[in-house]
Every structure is written in C-alpha cells, then in structure tokens.
C-alpha cells in the first residue's frame, strides 16, 4: 500500500511539474498523471480493504463521527469565508489609505447609469498588477462594477480596439463607450468614470485678453490641467475675449478670471458688473502685485483685495528657503465650498494676496472660506515675491487669520449672484493644481459658484505609494544592530542549549 | 466494582486490596485479513495481579491496546470497571496507569519536568502535583537524577521513571508492558522488587514473556498463542505444568 | 484545562529544548534581514539615479509609480519569505506527531486524561506560538528600519499579519501531514507538496472553465497572502487562513480515529 502511494506521489509530482513548466499536456505529463492517479486509487482501495477487515460496530461509529467532524469544519470554514467575502469587510492600513475610495469615486460609481466593466490588461509577471487588482476590487465592492483580467498576449484584438500601449492598463466599458486608463490609480480611474458619465454641468467662460492664465497652455504656469479637470467634471470651457464682448453670453454659467497681468478695461469691468447684477457668477483668482482692474468692483460686492503679500511663518520655508511667502492653509471656515477640508487637508498658495470683507447689501452674505494661520501678517513689500526672500515683520504689523479665499452670495431680482475670490491664481496652475487639496478647492469653488453644490466633494489623490527613501546610513546601523545581531543571538542560544543538553 | 476484592497470594493467603475489574468477552482484533486476537474471553478481578504471557507476536500488546482504547475491537468487547474504552476512553484513562517499554519516554525532557508533565496530563495541578511528583521521586528513588535528561539516564533509571509516572495518581489499574526488557540482571531485580511491593494495592496487568517474572509478580496468568488464550489460571498451576513451554507455541524461552 | 496547559508547556519545552528551533528562528530572521536590506539598498540607489537625472524627481513626479517602498521592497521581501516559510515550517512541524508515533509515546499520551482533540489542539497551539515568535523576531529589523524612516508601522503591521497567518496556515498543513505518518521525512515531503500545490492553483485554469478557475484562485494561498503585502487586511483572507487551520485540526483529530480503527 505504501509502495503504491509512493509511486503515486512521484508520478503526480512529475506530471504536474511537467505541465506547470511547459503549459502543455504532453504525453509525458498525461502518462504520469494517469499512473499517479491509478496508483493512489489502488493504495486507497487497499487501505479501505484493510479498514473493512478491522472495523467493528464501534469503529464505524467512530470513523463516521470523525469524518463528519472534518466535513463540518470544511463547511464552516467555507461558509465563514464566503460570508466575509460578501460583507467586503476590510481595513486599509496603507500610509495614504490607497484602497479606501474617496467620496467622489463612490459618488461617481453610484451615479453610473449601468453596469461598468473594468478589465485589467497586463503582462503575466508585471508586479504593478498587484496594486491595480486591489484597487479594482475596491471599485467592485463600491458599485456595479464587473472586474476582469486579461493577459496582453491573449488579447490582440483588445489592444487594437482600446489603444492599449502597455501592461497594467485598465479599460472601463459602459455600454458602447469606453475609457482607456494607462496609469490606473484611483484619481485617473475617477476621471475616466466622470468622462464616461458624460454629464453636463454647464459652461465656464474663461476671460482672455489682459494676460490672464492660459487654459490651453501645458506649461508649468499654464492652466491646461484646470481645463481638463473642468471637462472631467462636466463643464465646457469657453474662452471669452473681453475686448470683443458686449456682454457675457447667456449660456455661460460662470465667468472665470485667471490672474490677469493687466487691469481689465473699464468697459470689461462694466460688463462684468452688469452680468453680476443680473445674477451672474464669478470666480476670480487674483495675483499679488498685479492689478486686475476689478478691485473696485469687488469692493462694491463686499470683498476688498488690497495689494500685498500674506506672510505666514507657520507655513515654513518654501523650497528655495523663502520663509512663509507661499502659505500652506489649514484653517477653513465652515462653508459648503470648503466641505471636507480640515487641518489635515491643506491647500498650497504660491504667493497670496489678502482679502478683507465688509458688509455689502443687507441681504448679502459674504464669508471667509480659507484662512492663513493666526501668525500670518501682510507686507506691502511686493518685492519679496520676486526676490524670493523672506520678509521681516515690521513693528505694529497685525498677526491674524488673514483671508486667502472668500465667497459671497447676493440675492438679486434676476437671481442670486455668487462670487468667489481667491488671492492667488498659481495654486490652480499645472504646477500646483495636483498638490495637496488644491484641485478640490478649485473645483469645489466652481461647483459652488454655479450652484451645483451636490458635486462638491473630495477627489482621489494622484499620490502614489511612498517614494521617500530611508536614509542609508541609518539603515546600515539598524541592519548591523538588529538585522544581524538578532539571528546571531538566536544561534548562540541554540548552541548553548545543545551544549547544556549534552552535559545534563 | 472498585473496592475491596479478594485475591490469593502465591502462598495461598487471601488479602483484601483496591483495584478495578477488567473483563473481555469474545474480544477480536484483525489487521487486514490477519487475526491478531481471536475471541478472547477473560476476567481480571479487582486487586488481582494478572500476567499475560506469550511469545513475540502472540497478541499481548494488542490486548493491552484494546484495554486502553488505543485500538478499537473488530468484534467483542472489553470493559474496565464496567466502562468501555472504545466508547469512553477518557473515563478508563482516569483509572489507569500505564508503564511502557523504556524506549517510549521523552528523552529531551528532564525527569522532574517529565513527571510534572505526566501529572498535569493526568489532571493534577498546583500543590497536589508537586506533592505527587515529590512522592513519586522518593518512592522510586529518583531524587538523585531528578534534574537530569531522561535520554542521558541508564535503562534501569528510565524504567523507574516510567514506573513513577504511572503511579502519580495512584490509579486502581496499572498495566505494565515488558517491564524488564533490555535490563541487566541487577536492574531487572530492582524493577521486579518495586513491582512486587505494589501488589495488593492495585489491579496489576503485566505483559511479559519471562516465566520467572510472571511467577514472582502474578497470582494468575493467561497464555496467548497466535491470538488465542490457550491457558488461564493460578500461576503455580499453569506455569508448573510440564508442557508449560509448549503453550507458547514455537518460540518460548524464559528470559534470565 | 490543566492537562491541556501541561501539554502545551511540554510541547514548547520540547521545541525550545532542541537546538533546531533556534536554527529555524535564526535562519528565517537572517533571510528576512538580508533580503530586506538588499532590496532597500537597491531601492535607494534607483531613487538616487532618478533624483539626480531629473533634478528634483519627487517634486516633479517623474519617478515611476512602481518605484516605491511597497512595490520595490515589501512585495519582493514578502514573496521571498512566503516561499522560504514553505521550506522551513514543515521542517519544524514534521516531528510534532510523527516522532511521537515513531517513538510510541503517542500511546502513553493517549492513556492520560487528554482527549485526542485536546492533544491535537495543544500541539497546534504550541506550533502556532512558535511560528508567531518566528515572524516577530524576523520583523524586528524591518520594523526598526521603517520606524526610523518615519513612515508609520501600520502597513508593516499588515505585512506581518499576512506572513504570520501564512506561517500558521503552513504549520497547520505540516501538522496535518505529520499526524498521518510516523516518518518525519514523509511528513515534511508531503507538507511541501501540499503547500506548493496550494500556493498557486492558477496553473489549472488553462483547462477548466471560468467559474472553476475562479474557485481555484480563491483556494490558492498566494493571492490571499499578497493582499496583506499591499496593506489591505481583508476579513475574508484572514478567515481563509483560519479555515486552513480549522480543517487541518479536524483532520488531524480524525487521524487518531483512523489509527484506532486501522491500527
């Protein structure tokens, strides 16, 4: 019986090993598998025969009870595992909580009009597929998403159809529409979901003509990223050349002013004033040291924007050592626009202009939204920005929560006007839009201004798992002091035990 | 059935002692087609010292294993104090002390540690365990070797350790399997003297192929031959027969 | 409970009374330290290359996504350790039951107040304690390194949990194989065979349907174990390993019944 079992094990091992190595059922593999199975069956038969002879009535009862115990344990294990899988209960212990979906992603999944199919195309041994698999599993648990995997080598038609350029690519299919994501992180999948939803949230008119930020520019200080984010979240972006406009077109849901380098012409300012009086919506990103021409207009609506630079020592030094002139804000007033932002979710501004609020009309509501730290103060010395050097706080300077962003709502006969002013435009440029929670602030400001407050959310981050290196010097010390010392002590311990036993 | 029971010493005097009864009815055990024990019927009275004799392979160890419940019978039954070891082995083990061959110990444990483990495994704990271990060490003269590894002891001492663990809980039934196998004459004498001193206090089931040992330690004997009980009775009667050796079948050499 | 505790103590005393336990602990700790350090040093070198090539690699987001601490260091370490444990753990568990049967001390143990269920439970518990200690000792170095880097220990805790559960699963398989034989060699070899087979059952997906392929994937150890490396602790995966332990326990308990019947 044992000889047969031994033959069975060896034959099966070689049969399976042969298939595993070549992925083909050769004659060698088939013969070994057949021989191994037969040998095992014969050994099992002999064992049963031996049992039959030996077994009395007690034996049958004992065996049956034992087998039921094993079957019961197996059934219990399977049931518990399936129940746990169905419950989807799990903990994300990653540093960035990479596998906990952002509210925006959950919302996007919930609003899908049908079942989404997410297919991961990858090379067999691509290690990146591991994380992507986990991410897709998170999506599947959160919504009506069917997840599949295909190897690139098995899917030549799909490569052509979806334009797949490399391994670890996810294709999202919704009905006949699809989106190909070649860098599958939650942020990029989220944007693809939004594109698939193809919801239209309105038209944003971006003013041009006075050196404003360029939404078609992909340069570091361009705003193509902002335009793409607007498109993702359902907005059509339209350039409005102020000089050629008599009035803001009626189908524009909000006007975006991106840090003009020159002051708007009085006619343009008047056009804006008229637009706002008719219940218009304005999102103005200003720049310290540049007169936008709408300062007086904004003052009339309760938001003063004196020229100056907020210096916030609590923000620490920027990359070039200039202390506090690029504020990192972590104080937010309670406002729909800042929903979800808290001291752990900071926003970064590359040189910010202060805002001062005052009452406009009796029914008007003008409120601070984003504040610098209480240690911040304002300098009129605009050269700190160009010199990239920190400023000394003059005697008598007021340290306070200086306002970086403000929002106002103004009931008018023709409808509510809404204005959001932010004292920096660079925070939304290509260079900084994806830093910290800048994208969320920018997009939520747009959603609030066009009164689509249900779209205000926190978006998944583009951050990838920790890339900061561990200092190699510390690592060496730890390697010797712990990594090698512990095994050495264990071996010594074992040796001493062995010697003691010989003498005992 | 635990309690006072009459037994007859070799000299004929009847003494009362403790112990439990062991009864087998038609006890059969097969291994595949081979019959190791064939319809054995036997009764060991409480307090009795019973030696089961037979050549190697006669079925002695199989019988012991059926009594302890380590094996299940193919047919028939066996009870210890009315309890079936097949159905309720734990209850039988609570009444049982088992002395195995010397090789069946834990050589990596120290003597005291092993006794503490066996005492704990038999349900003793705390002060009771310490007392029982100390008493066993004293009774079997193991104090000098208490801190030593079992594997480093002589066979004689190892057998004393084996005896000591069996008596930790002072069980009513003691099964001793080949107690002097592999021992030299001096060691054999020591172990036999120890076993002799225990007579009358427990039911003793002794398995051996040493006729002299059986005469010395048992009041009644049974002889197994190829799984069958071919003789049973008072030790002096069965072993005093002229054809006593023939009872054992082809191999039956009294160990000296 | 007294008897159970006595057997657990005795099992641990037997384990740690033998130099092989220390050898196994030392070996796993050393392998962990060496491969972790090796990958960490390589990771630092790659980052340095990117940093100097792009002059400000982190800030300008030009370091590839997959060059990060988890993918470059933790995943490879965990993959290697996963296979190392398959090699080492059966060597520790092979003697637990098989040696008792070979020596005959299982019979002595059987005649105590310990039921077969308690014997199995005690031996499994002692083996699990040993495996957990093995992983704890092996993680001293990675934990210290990560903590020094100021990166938080939560993700590492998930990796540790995954490896420990994997070790417990392997110990269960090893103990189960040991319970059915009196030969330590057979116990070790059969444990290796079962563990390697279970490690990745996807090889069979080539000639079964999608549903059975999905079932085989669900039964495989490797995908379950890898998710811990990603920092995700899923209840289903924890129960998977607990299930291996439960079924192995029940089957090892059954081996006693089988032996009582077959001899």
Separation in Å, CA A185 to CA A118, B129, C230: 13, 64, 14
- Cβ atoms of A159 and A152 within 8 Å: the answer is yes
- Which whole-number Å values give the CA distances from A416 to A307, A367, C137, C146, C176, in the listed order? 28, 15, 66, 54, 74
CATH 3.40.50.300 in chain B: give the residue spans. Answer: 18-95+173-183+204-238
pLDDT at C203: 65
**Is the separation of the CB atoms in A347 and A329 below 8 Å?**
yes
User: Which pLDDT tens digit goes with each residue over C99-122?
Assistant: 999 988 999 999 999 999 999 999
Contact (CB<8Å) A63/C58: no
pLDDT at res. A468? 61
Q: What pLDDT is stored for residue B72 in this prediction? A: 93
Residue A164's closest CA among A144, A135, A184, A140?
A: A184
Tell me the pLDDT band of C206, cut-offs 50, 70 and 90: low
Rounded distance, CA B80 to CA B58, Å?
22
Residue A254, Cβ density class (10 Å: 0-12 exposed, 13-18 middle, ≥19 buried): buried
Q: Distance (Å, rounded) from C-alpha A406 to C-alpha A410?
A: 13
- Contact at 8 Å (CB) between A463 and A373? no
Widest CA span in chain B: 54
Residue pair A124/A87 in contact by the 8 Å Cβ criterion: no
The answer to whether A276 and A300 are in contact (CB under 8 A) is: no
Concatenated DSSP letters of A253-304: -EEEEE--SSPPPHHHHHHHHHHHHTT-EEEEE--TT---S-HHHHHHTTEE
**DSSP, res A317:** B
Which A residues in the span 113-142 are in contact with B, Cβ-Cβ below 8 Å?
none
Burial of C173 (C-beta count, 10 Å sphere; 0-12/13-18/19+): buried
C203's CB contacts (< 8 A; 6+ apart) are: A16, A19, A20, A23
* Burial label, A110 (beta-carbon count in 10 A; 0-12, 13-18, 19+): exposed
Q: How crowded is residue C153: how many other Cβ atoms within 10 Å of its Cβ?
A: 15
- The 8-class DSSP code of residue C65 comes to T
| Two tokens, residue B199 | 């007579």
Judged against a pLDDT cut of 60, whether residue C250 lies above it is answered with yes
The length of chain A, given as a count of residues? 504
Degrees (nearest 5) of the Cα angle A461, A463, A466? 140
Helix (H, G, I), strand (E, B) or coil at A320: coil
| CA closest to C263 among chain A residues | A54
Contact A447, A456 (CB under 8 A): yes
CB contact, 8 Å: C183 with chain A?
no
Q: Which residue has the higher pLDDT, A464 or C59?
A: A464
| A309 within 8 A of A352, measured Cβ to Cβ | yes
What pairing do the DSSP bridges indicate for beta strands A145-151 and A116-122? parallel
| Intervals of chain B under pLDDT 50 | 1-17, 251-256
For residues C89 and C60, is the Cβ–Cβ distance under 8 A?
Answer: no
> Kind and range of the H or E element at A109?
helix A103-110
Query: Distance, in angstroms, between A172 CA and closest chain C CA?
Result: 21
Residue C201 CA from chain centroid, whole number: 18
Residue A54 sits at the chain B interface (C-beta within 8 Å): yes
Q: Which residue among C9, C104, C114 places its CB closest to the CB of B100?
A: C104
Q: Is B157 exposed, middle or buried (0-12, 13-18, 19+ CB in 10 A)?
A: buried
Among the listed ranges A405-409, B93-97, C19-23, C177-181, which one has the minimum average pLDDT value? C19-23
CA nearest A465 in C: which residue?
C68
Reference A313, options A368, A356, A369, A377; nearest CA is A377
A500 touches chain B (CB under 8 A): no
Q: Any idea what the Cα angle at residue B49 is, between residues B191 and B123, rounded to 5°?
A: 75
pLDDT number for residue A389: 64
Pick the residue from chain C with its C-alpha nearest to A470.
Answer: C149
Integer Cα distance of A168 and A162 in angstroms: 13
The number of distinct structural domains making up chain C is: 1
Q: How far is C5 from chain A (nearest CA, A)?
A: 24
For residue C6, what pLDDT band results from cuts at 50, 70 and 90? very high
User: Could you say which of A70, A99, A483 has the minimum Cβ distance to residue C250?
Assistant: A70
Cα A331 from chain centroid? 22
Q: Is B31 on the interface with A (CB under 8 A)?
A: yes
Q: Is B149 on the interface with A (CB under 8 A)?
A: yes
- Best residue in C102, C112, C254, C256 for a mutation probing chain B (most B CBs within 10 Å): C112
CA dihedral B134, B140, B146, B151 (to 10 degrees): -140
What is the Cα–Cα distance from C247 to A76, expressed in whole angstroms?
9
Residue of A nearest to B146 (CA): A504
CB neighbour list of residue A104: distance below 8 Å, 6 or more residues apart: A190, A457, A458, A459, A460
CB contact under 8 A, B72 and A501: no
Q: Which residues of C touch B123 (CB under 8 A)?
A: 2-3, 113
ipTM of the complex: 0.88
Q: Which of A6, A100, A119, A130 to mutate to test the interface with C (most CBs of C within 10 A)?
A: A130
Cβ distance C230 to A471 less than 8 Å, yes or no, reads no
Question: Per-residue pLDDT tens for B89-102?
Answer: 999 999 999 998 76
pLDDT at A472: 64
Backbone φ and ψ of A488, nearest 5°: -65, -45
Q: Kindly compute the dihedral angle of the four CA atoms of residues A192, A197, A202, A204, in this order, to the nearest 10 degrees.
A: 10
Q: Which pLDDT score, from 0 to 100, does residue B255 have?
A: 43
Contact by Cβ (8 Å): A8, A2: no
The CATH homologous superfamily of the domain defined by B18-95+173-183+204-238: P-loop containing nucleotide triphosphate hydrolases (3.40.50.300)
Look at residues A138, A135, A137, A133 and name the one whose alpha carbon lies nearest to residue A122.
Answer: A133
Regions of chain A short of the pLDDT cut 50: none
C53 lies within 8 A of chain A by CB: no
Q: How confident is the model at residue C238 (pLDDT cuts 50, 70, 90)?
A: very high
- Residue-number span of the structural domain to which C120 is assigned: 2-262
The reply to whether residue C103 touches residue B104, judged by beta carbons under 8 angstroms, is yes
Residue from B29, A42, B57, A44 nearest C261 by CA? B29
- Please give, rounded to a whole number of angstroms, the shortest distance from the CA of B115 to a CA of chain C: 11
Residue B44 in contact with residue B216, Cβ under 8 Å?
Answer: no
| Nearest-angstrom CA–CA distance, A133 and A184 | 10
* A409-449: pLDDT as tens digits: 999 888 899 999 999 999 999 988 888 889 999 999 999 99
Q: Is the pLDDT of residue C59 over 60?
A: no
Q: Which string of DSSP letters, residue by residue, matches chain B?
A: --S-EEEE-TTS-EEEE----EEEEEEEEEETTEEEEEEEEEEE-TT-EEEEEE-TTSSHHHHHHHHHTSS--SEEEEEETTB-TTT-HHHHHTTEEEE--TTSS-TTSBHHHHHHHHHHHTT--HHHHHHHHHHHHHHTT-GGGTTSBGGGS-HHHHHHHHHHHHTTT--SEEEEESTTTT--HHHHHHHHHHHHHHBTTBEEEEEES-HHHHHHH-SEEEEEETTEEEEEEEHHHHHHSTTTGGGGTT------
- DSSP three-state, residue A182: coil
Alpha-carbon torsion (A428, A429, A432, A434), positive or negative: positive
Residue environment code for C80-106, b if the CB has 16+ CB neighbours within 10 A, otherwise e: bbbebbbbbbbbbbbbbbbbbbebebb
Whether A464 and chain B come into contact, CB under 8 Å, resolves to no
The two tokens of residue A203 are 């038209």
Question: CA of B48: how far to CAs of A458, B166, B174, B228, in Å?
Answer: 87, 17, 11, 22
Count contacts between A and B (CB, < 8 Å): 37
pLDDT for res B2: 38
Q: A188 is written with which tokens?
A: 């990029």
Q: Directed axis angle between helix A27-54 and helix C235-262, to 10°?
A: 50
Residue B151, chain C, CB below 8 Å: the answer is no
Measured between alpha carbons, how far is A111 from A454 in angstroms, rounded to an integer? 12
DSSP B100-166: --TTSS-TTSBHHHHHHHHHHHTT--HHHHHHHHHHHHHHTT-GGGTTSBGGGS-HHHHHHHHHHHH
């Amino acid at each position: 019986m044992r000889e047969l079992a031994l033959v069975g094990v060896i034959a099966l091992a070689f049969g399976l090993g042969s298939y595993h190595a070549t992925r083909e059922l050769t004659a060698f593999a088939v013969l070994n598998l057949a021989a191994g199975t037969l040998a095992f069956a014969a050994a099992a038969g002999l064992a049963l025969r031996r049992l039959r002879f030996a077994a009395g009535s007690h034996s049958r009862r004992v065996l049956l009870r034992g087998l039921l115990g094993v079957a019961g344990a197996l059934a219990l294990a399977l049931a518990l595992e399936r129940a746990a899988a169905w419950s989807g209960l799990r903990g994300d212990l990653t540093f960035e909580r990479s596998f906990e979906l952002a509210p925006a992603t959950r919302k996007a999944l919930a609003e899908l009009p049908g079942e989404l199919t997410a297919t991961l195309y990858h090379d067999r041994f691509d290690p990146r597929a591991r994380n992507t698999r986990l991410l897709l599993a998170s999506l599947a648990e959160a919504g009506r998403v069917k997840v599949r995997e295909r190897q690139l080598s098995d899917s030549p038609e799909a490569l052509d159809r979806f334009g797949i350029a490399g391994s670890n690519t996810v294709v999202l299919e919704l009905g006949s529409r699809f989106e190909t994501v070649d860098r599958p992180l939650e942020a990029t999948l989220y944007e693809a979901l939004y594109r698939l939803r193809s919801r239209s949230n309105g038209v944003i008119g971006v003013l041009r003509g006075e050196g404003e930020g360029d939404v078609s520019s992909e340069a570091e200080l361009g705003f193509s990223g902002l335009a793409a984010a607007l498109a993702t979240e359902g907005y059509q972006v339209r350039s409005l050349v102020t000089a050629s406009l008599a009035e803001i077109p009626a189908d524009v849901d909000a006007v975006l002013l991106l840090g003009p380098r020159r002051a708007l012409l009085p006619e343009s300012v008047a056009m804006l004033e008229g637009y706002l009086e008719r219940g218009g919506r304005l999102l103005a990103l200003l720049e310290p040291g540049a007169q936008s021409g709408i300062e007086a207009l904004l003052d009339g609506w309760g938001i003063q924007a004196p020229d100056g630079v907020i210096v916030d020592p609590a923000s620490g030094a920027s990359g070039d050592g200039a202390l506090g002139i690029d504020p990192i804000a972590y104080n937010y007033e309670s406002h729909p626009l800042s929903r979800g932002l808290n001291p752990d979710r900071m926003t970064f501004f590359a040189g910010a202009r202060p805002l001062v609020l005052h009452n406009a009309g009796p029914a008007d509501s003008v409120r601070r939204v984003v504040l610098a730290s209480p240690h911040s103060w304002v300098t009129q010395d605009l050269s700190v920005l160009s010199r990239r050097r920190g400023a000394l706080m003059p005697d008598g300077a007021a340290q306070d929560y200086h306002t970086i962003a403000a929002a106002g709502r103004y009931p008018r006969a023709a409808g509510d006007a809404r204005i959001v002013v932010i004292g920096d435009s660079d925070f939304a440029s290509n260079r900084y839009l994806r830093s910290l929670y800048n994208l969320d602030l920018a997009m939520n400001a747009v959603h609030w201004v066009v009164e689509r407050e249900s779209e205000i959310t926190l978006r998944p981050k583009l951050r990838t798992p920790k890339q900061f290196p561990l200092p190699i010097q510390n690592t060496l010390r730890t390697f010797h002091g712990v990594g090698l010392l512990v095994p050495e002590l264990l071996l010594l311990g074992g040796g001493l035990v062995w010697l003691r036993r010989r003498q005992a | 059935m635990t309690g006072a029971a009459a037994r007859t010493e070799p000299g004929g005097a009847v003494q009362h002692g403790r112990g439990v009864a062991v009864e087998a009815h038609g006890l059969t055990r097969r291994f595949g087609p081979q019959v190791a024990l064939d319809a054995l019927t036997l009764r060991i009275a409480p307090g009795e010292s019973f030696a089961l004799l037979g050549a190697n392979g006669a079925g002695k160890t199989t019988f012991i294993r059926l009594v302890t419940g380590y094996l299940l019978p193919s047919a028939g039954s066996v009870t210890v104090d009315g309890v079936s070891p097949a159905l309720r082995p734990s209850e039988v083990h609570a009444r049982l002390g088992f002395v195995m061959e010397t090789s069946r110990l834990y050589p990596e444990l120290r003597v005291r540690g092993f006794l503490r483990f066996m005492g704990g495994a038999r349900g003793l704990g705390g002060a009771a365990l310490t007392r029982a271990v100390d008493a066993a060490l004293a009774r079997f003269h193991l104090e000098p070797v208490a801190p030593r590894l079992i594997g480093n002891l002589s066979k004689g001492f190892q057998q004393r350790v084996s005896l000591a663990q069996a008596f930790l809980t002072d069980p009513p039934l003691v099964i001793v399997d080949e107690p002097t196998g592999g021992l030299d004459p001096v060691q054999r004498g020591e172990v036999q003297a120890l076993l002799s001193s225990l007579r009358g206090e427990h039911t003793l089931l002794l398995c051996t192929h040493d006729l002299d040992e059986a005469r010395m330690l048992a009041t009644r004997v049974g002889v197994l031959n190829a799984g069958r009980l071919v003789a049973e009775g008072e030790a002096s009667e069965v072993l005093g027969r002229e054809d006593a050796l023939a009872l054992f079948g082809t191999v039956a050499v009294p160990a000296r | 409970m007294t008897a159970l505790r006595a057997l657990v103590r005795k099992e641990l005393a037997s384990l740690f009374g033998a130099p092989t336990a220390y050898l196994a602990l030392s070996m796993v700790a050393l392998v962990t330290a060496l491969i972790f350090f090796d990958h960490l040093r390589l990771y630092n070198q790659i980052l340095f290359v990117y940093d100097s090539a792009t002059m400000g690699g982190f800030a300008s987001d030009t370091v590839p996504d997959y060059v990060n601490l988890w993918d470059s260091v933790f995943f490879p370490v965990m993959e290697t350790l996963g296979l190392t444990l398959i090699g080492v753990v059966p060597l520790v568990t092979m003697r637990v039951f098989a040696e008792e049967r070979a020596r005959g001390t299982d019979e002595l143990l059987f005649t105590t107040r310990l039921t077969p269920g308690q014997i199995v439970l005690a031996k499994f518990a002692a083996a699990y304690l040993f495996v957990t200690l093995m992983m704890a000792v092996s993680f001293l170095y990675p934990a210290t390194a990560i903590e020094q880097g100021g990166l938080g220990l939560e993700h590492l805790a998930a990796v540790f949990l995954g490896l420990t559960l994997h070790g417990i699963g392997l110990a269960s398989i090893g103990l189960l194989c040991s319970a059915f034989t009196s030969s330590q060699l057979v116990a070790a070899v059969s444990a290796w065979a079962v563990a390697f087979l279970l490690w990745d059952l996807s090889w069979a997906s080539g000639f079964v349907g999608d549903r059975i392929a999905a079932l085989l994937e669900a039964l495989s150890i490797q995908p379950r174990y890898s998710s811990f490396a990603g920092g995700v602790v899923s209840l289903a995966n924890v129960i998977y390993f607990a299930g291996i332990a439960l079924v192995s326990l029940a089957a090892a308990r059954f081996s006693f019944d089988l032996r009582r019947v077959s001899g």
